[in-house]
Amino acid sequence: MAEVNALERQTLYGVLAATIAVISMAIAVSAALAPRTITSMEQTFTVSEDLISVSGTAQITVIPDKAILYLTVQEKASTSAEALKLAAEKVDKVLAALRSLGLSDENLKTTSFSIYPEYIYFDDGRPPQLIGYVASYSLEVSVRDISRVGEIVDRAVEGGASIVGGLTLTLSDELTARLQRELLGAAVTDAKNKAEMALAPLGLHVSRLKSLTISEQYPYPVFRGASPAEKTDLTIMPGQTTLTVTVQATFVIGG
């Protein structure tokens, strides 16, 4: 490589900073999960003295591997004690029904419990009339096999669930962590390749990494709305979700 003296290097940096526009480069990453697409985005370079700053981005599209189902049991009675007793009995039946499907306590989580009075309200100015109490118990059910959601709903309804409070499709913690590691490596490689491509025409190259900032964009869970509990031949189409990792890298320039 031809030697570049200090004056020439300063001139080259000035030309580089003024003329580098945008480089787009695709990165293919081999992995076991499908479908997936990893791409790099358009990039503007910043050159200062012996440093070049560039961002790298990697993105992957995958199918959610986790479903979270929200169930509610409600019971009404003339007294709070009776409403509580009826709700507790119904909850035990729902939990037994879910456990009969092989779900463990790791899949089941109580999210709320409440008991409150129920009134009739009149338009003629009379005071509200107490007619009883409502006990409500909400349960979160998580499962890694999304195809089992319909079966779980049916069994919960048979056990006494009053409301199917909605369904969230998302990525499991294990899959998210694995994809983040994969994407981080791809994003750093993307940034380094862009810097090398920008410097190569000037007879320069990347010497070493000086600093790195990481930004992650998590996928939004897909939520399905609530409905009264009833048996159904439910088919869930999970669709796809996207995870993105972007890095801002500053490299030391070598001659």
| Size (the chain), residues | 255
Of 150, 155, 171, 169, the residue nearest 216 (C-alpha): 171
What is the structure's pLDDT at 17? Answer: 46
Q: Which residues of the chain have pLDDT under 70?
A: 1-48, 218-235
Domain layout of the chain by residue ranges? 6-63+177-221+241-254, 66-170
What is the structure's pLDDT at 39? Answer: 39
What is the structure's pLDDT at 238? Answer: 76
Rounded to whole angstroms, how far apart are CA atoms 163 and 138? 9
| Residue 146 contacts residue 236 (beta carbons within 8 Å) | yes
What is the structure's pLDDT at 28? Answer: 30
What is the structure's pLDDT at 241? Answer: 86
Question: Which of these CATH numbers, 3.30.70, 2.40.50, 1.10.3110, 3.30.110, describes 6-63+177-221+241-254?
Answer: 3.30.110
pLDDT tens readout for residues 193-222: 999 999 999 899 999 999 999 987 766 555
Determine the CATH number of domain 66-170.
Answer: 3.30.70.2970
What is the structure's pLDDT at 56? Answer: 95
Rounded to whole angstroms, how far apart are CA atoms 120 and 54? 66
| Residue 212 contacts residue 188 (beta carbons within 8 Å) | yes
